[in-house]
Amino acid sequence: MGQARIGAGVVVLETDRLVLRRWLVSDAALQRKLWTERDPRVPPRRRIDADGRPTLNDLENRIRRGDPDASSGLLAIEQRDRGAVIGSCGLIANDHGQDGEPELAYELLRAVRGQGYATEASLAVVSWAEELGYRRLWATVREWNTASRCVLTKLGFVETTRVERDPIHGNSLFYMKDFSGANSTASVNGRNAPQRSGSSQMQSGASF
């Protein structure tokens, strides 16, 4: 799959198996599926509510408008061989570190978890963030989300001492990656470093 097929400026990063690109209105159904698959322990504001919102139409309109709630800072993860969108990954705004230090976020469909896609996509984003000159990246994860915690460890993030207590939805743990340290983002699990398509830069978006 090449950039020409989906439009100039849409593809941002490419890896061995994945293309990370901007959201298209046609991706709204995939976005809604991600909403419906979220763990019931996720806070209600990030799950489908009793009225069925956000609806497919809501998400389509958010993508058209480029609203922060449309995850404008998160890129769609598309499989190179099949052209199927399987999740999202990118940089979002955060208030956990210093100004200008973004947060890594990612989410995958249940059907494709456990195949290394989260690590591969996140590695591409982390490597790109380092090239853009960010000094540190942050990530927050619920204590019960062991899969995401394993991904962060593979990427060289370290757990900090900060914990946000939440007896209802689970404590939030704070992870940080310092690019001045000894850890490298050159390769994870043998995956190649990502290729950039153009010079687009991620915008801040809504966390999940």
Would you place residue 189 in the very low, low, confident or very high pLDDT band (cuts 50, 70, 90)?
Answer: very low
Checking if the pLDDT of 61 tops 60, the result is: yes
Of the candidate ranges 70-74, 82-86, 99-103, 184-188, the one whose mean pLDDT is the lowest: 184-188
Of the candidate ranges 10-14, 87-91, 116-120, the one whose mean pLDDT is the lowest: 10-14
d(CA 135, CA 153): 18
Checking if the pLDDT of 204 tops 60, the result is: no
Region of 87 on the Ramachandran plot (φ > 0 left; ψ -120 to 50 alpha; else beta): left
d(CA 122, CA 13): 11
Checking if the pLDDT of 93 tops 90, the result is: no
Note the pLDDT of residue 45.
84
Locate 42 and state its tokens: 């996720």
Average pLDDT of span 158-170: 93
How far, CA to CA in Å, does 148 sit from each of 117, 128, 154, 208?
12, 20, 10, 13
- Is residue 117 within 8 A of residue 126, CB to CB? The reply is no
Closest CA to 200 of 3, 6, 13: 13
Locate 186 and state its tokens: 């050159």
How far, CA to CA in Å, does 43 sit from each of 40, 102, 168, 169, 208?
8, 21, 9, 6, 9
d(CA 97, CA 74): 19
Closest CA to 205 of 27, 78, 33, 76: 76
Locate 89 and state its tokens: 């990954």
Note the pLDDT of residue 207.
33
Note the pLDDT of residue 3.
32
**How many angstroms separate the most distant Cα atoms in the chain?**
49
Average pLDDT of span 150-178: 94
Q: What percent of the chain shows pLDDT beyond 90?
A: 64
- Taking the model in full, what pTM does it have? 0.79
- Is residue 113 within 8 A of residue 125, CB to CB? The reply is no
Q: Is 134 exposed, middle or buried (0-12, 13-18, 19+ CB in 10 A)?
A: middle
Checking if the pLDDT of 202 tops 50, the result is: no
Specify the higher pLDDT residue, 194 or 45: 45
The tens digit of pLDDT for each residue in 70-85 reads 554 789 999 999 999 9
The tens digit of pLDDT for each residue in 11-51 reads 889 999 999 999 999 999 999 999 999 998 988 888 999 89
Would you place residue 65 in the very low, low, confident or very high pLDDT band (cuts 50, 70, 90)?
Answer: confident
Closest CA to 179 of 125, 130, 128: 130
